[in-house]
Amino acid sequence: MNARIPHSKLDPVLALRQISQAWDDDIVQQLEDYIRIPAKSPAFDADWASSGHIETVVQHAAAWIEGQKIPGLKLEIIRLTGRTPVLFFELPASRGQTQGETECAASSQTVLMYGHLDKQPEFTGWRQDLGPWTPKYEDGKLYGRGGADDGYAVYASIAAIQSLKSQQLAHPRIVGLVETCEESGSYDLLPYVDALRARLGDVGLVICLDSGAGNYDQLWLTTSLRGMAGGVLKVEVLTEGVHSGDASGLVPSSFRIMRQVLDRLEDSATGRLLPASFHCEVPPERLRQAQATAAILGEELYKRFPWAHYDCGGSTAFALPTTTDPLQALLNRTWVPTLSVTGAEGFPDFKSAGNVLRPYTAFKLSLRLPPLVEAASAVQELKRLLEDNAPYQARVTFEGGGATGWNAPATAPWFEQALNAASTAQFGAPCGYIGQGGTIPLMNMLARGFPKAQMMVCGVLGPKSNAHGPNEFLHVPYAKKLTAVVAQVIAQMP
């Protein structure tokens, strides 16, 4: 083994200046073009291959990367039959050049950079002057679907690499994997990881730019991600609709049966999931980190959401959160299982809703699981719980799947030091640690494949950025600093 060489010294002020210029001159425009393309994930566009939108964003990103002309970088669009494409780029390690003296590369290991280009669907409720496919740059925020989740990631990754190259710094081997199936659960990704495993190399650091931020005042490292068990629950009692006056009271309502079935899973008064197998203990380190983060963010943990409000006798009343305790609020969205109904079928719209007893009710369920709960087992338990012994012998079916969450490995001393140094250099504050309630299936895959790798999971989804919902935005000033942080951490990899 080679003797350890001192780390490359990245100039953080110069890095931010160069990166900011790249964002202002080019990247923002690239992302505006990206937002205009409705590249919905396959779960929301079954005809994605023929519609061509995913292909378009992949081709645009590939052309842009090649146009940067980074010495030594090789790029491929890789396709497996019947699956969404991925972008894969590879950059060999560099010895760098500092003040005329040659340095050895910072590490013999590989950095893996990850992002995705597929998007969530439109959703409703956008501000009148905004829309999912009509980008608008206003007060440092770039509005539109997918810019923050996660179109910016590939552009920020390349900009960070350019910063290292422009300062002629030593850097380890770097590979990039950009998928187009993440918003559908990344079911296409594992075959690509298997096909590329030898080319990924000895991964010592994973940089995933698809996560959130507690505020826009410091770097935030994601320490855990919830898993997910989701699918469609359907209750059928009739083969066709019938007159409600004729049949109600004799034919049981499919909606009432749906309520009964869901009561097996959730306490509707509190939202607590009833099966013990869906819960787990919070590891002591995560609890300590949550306490520290709750002290930093305080009531902003729940105030940041767009609560419904109404006039109440001359004052404004707001809908209430499940808790106003900052620590419990943080744990509820990171380590507590929670059920959401995200879609429904079997209901006519209001103007078409006559006096008809509907034949069926179907709900799309999204069950977020604690990071340490195995998703496959949870899906099996969910199916058994919901389908067995249906009231009135109605036909109850649940079809779904899941993705196991992720809990970060122990933080290596070099990694913690690099994160704090980079955050302090760019934000004037140390790195914060936060769990996230979302799911990134890749992280669990990589944790199994590279158990010793450090995981830099971070992102731009801070307060009110509203990924998946209306008025999603990318906080560009934060994205610039995050890009510079990524470059500095890569340069410090031992």
384: which residues sit within 8 A by CB, 6+ positions away?
Answer: none
CA distance 397 to 385: 11
Asked if residues 288 and 223 have their Cβ atoms less than 8 Å apart, the reply is no
Question: Residue 394: how many CB atoms within 10 A of its CB?
Answer: 19
Instruction: State both tokens at 73.
Output: 């970088």
Select from 189, 175, 158, 180 the least CA-distant residue to 63: 158
3-state helix vs strand vs coil in the chain, percent to 5: 35, 25, 40
Tokens of 205: 């650091």
CATH number of the domain within which 313 lies: 3.30.70.360
Kindly report the backbone phi and psi dihedral angles of residue 351, in degrees, each rounded to the nearest multiple of 5, phi listed first.
-70, -15
* Shared-domain flag, residues 384 and 413: no
Shared-domain flag, residues 344 and 264: yes
Q: Is 7 part of a structural domain of the chain?
A: no
pLDDT of residue 6: 45
Q: Are residues 76 and 23 in the same domain?
A: yes
Do 193 and 164 lie in a common domain?
yes
For residues 387 and 245, state if they share a domain. yes
Task: Give the chain's domain count.
Answer: 2
**Domain annotation covers residue 4:** no
Local structure of 244: helix, strand or coil = helix
Q: Which domain holds residue 97?
A: 12-225+406-491
Element housing 424 (H / E): helix 413-427
Tokens of 371: 């990071």
**Following DSSP, what letter does each residue of 262-307 receive, concatenated?**
HHTTB-TTT--B--GGG--PPPHHHHHHHHHHHHHHTTHHHHTS--
b/e map of 28-45 (b: 16 or more CB within 10 Å)? Answer: bebbbebbbbbbbbbbeb
Q: Are 285 and 371 in contact (CB under 8 A)?
A: no
Q: Is 234 part of any domain?
A: yes
List, for residues 50-105, the tens digit of each pLDDT value. Answer: 999 999 999 999 999 999 999 999 999 999 999 999 999 999 999 887 544 444 44
The distance between the two most distant Cα atoms of the chain, rounded to a whole number of Å, is 90
pLDDT tens string, the chain, 494 residues long: the values are: 333 434 568 999 999 999 999 999 999 999 999 999 999 999 999 999 999 999 999 999 999 999 999 999 999 999 999 999 999 999 999 988 754 444 444 568 999 999 999 999 999 999 999 999 999 999 999 999 999 999 999 999 999 999 999 999 999 999 999 999 999 989 999 899 999 999 999 999 999 999 999 999 999 999 999 999 999 999 999 999 999 999 999 999 999 999 999 999 999 999 999 999 999 999 999 999 999 999 999 999 999 999 999 998 889 999 999 999 999 999 999 999 999 999 999 999 999 999 999 999 999 999 999 999 999 999 999 999 999 999 999 999 999 999 999 999 999 999 999 999 999 999 999 999 999 999 998 898 888 888 889 999 999 999 999 999 999 999 999 999 999 999 999 999 98
- Summarize pLDDT for 302-322 with one digit per residue, the tens: 999 999 999 988 899 999 999
The reply to whether 233 and 122 lie within a common domain is: no
Structural domain contains residue 3: no
Q: What is the pLDDT of residue 96?
A: 82
Q: Is 445 left (phi over 0), alpha (psi -120 to 50) or beta?
A: alpha
In degrees and rounded to multiples of 5, residue 57 shows phi and psi of -70, -35
Residue range 418-427, pLDDT digits in tens: 999 999 999 9
Does residue 184 lie in a domain region?
yes
Map tokens 């009833």 to a residue: 274
Q: Are residues 282 and 351 in the same domain?
A: yes
Helix (H, G, I), strand (E, B) or coil at 403: strand
Domain boundary among 403, 431, 466: 403
Q: What confidence score (pLDDT) does residue 8 get?
A: 66
Give me the pLDDT at residue 314, please: 84
Domain boundary among the residues 403, 422, 451 is at 403
Task: Indicate if 265 and 320 belong to the same structural domain.
Answer: yes
Two structure tokens written together for 198: 């030898």
Which pLDDT does position 375 carry in this prediction?
96
Query: 446 with 391, same domain?
Result: no
Question: Of 236, 75, 228, which is closest to residue 157 (Cα–Cα)?
Answer: 75
Instruction: Name, in order, each residue with C-beta under 8 angstroms of 445's C-beta and a sequence gap of 6 or more.
Output: 186, 189, 190, 193
Identify the CA nearest to 482 among candidates 104, 160, 47. Answer: 160
Q: Domain check: are 289 and 358 in the same one?
A: yes
Q: Are residues 274 and 153 in the same domain?
A: no
190 with 43, same domain: the answer is yes
Q: Report yes or no on 263 lying in a domain.
A: yes
Contact 479, 23 (CB under 8 A): yes
Sign of the Cα torsion 61, 67, 72, 77 reads: positive
Q: Both tokens of residue 359?
A: 């034949």
What's the pLDDT score for residue 99?
Answer: 45
| pLDDT given for residue 5 in this prediction | 39
Residue 102: per-residue pLDDT: 45
Q: Which residues pair with 455 in a beta bridge?
A: 206
Q: Are 304 and 213 in contact (CB under 8 A)?
A: no
3-class state of residue 68 by DSSP: helix
Share of the chain above pLDDT 70, in %: 96
CA distance 211 to 319: 27
What is the tens place of the pLDDT at every residue in 100-124? 444 444 568 999 999 999 999 999 9
Confidence at residue 108, expressed as pLDDT on a 0 to 100 scale: 80
| Domain C-terminal end among 375, 403, 431 | 403
In a domain, 361, yes or no: yes
Answer yes or no: is 1 within a domain: no
Q: Where are the beta strands (DSSP E) in 306-384?
A: 309-312, 315-318, 338-345, 356-357, 360-369
Q: Tell me whether the omega of the peptide bond preceding residue 194 falls within 30 degrees of 0, making it cis.
A: no
The torsion of the CA quartet 206, 212, 217, 220, rounded to 10 degrees, works out to: -40
Query: Which CATH number is 25's domain given?
Result: 3.40.630.10
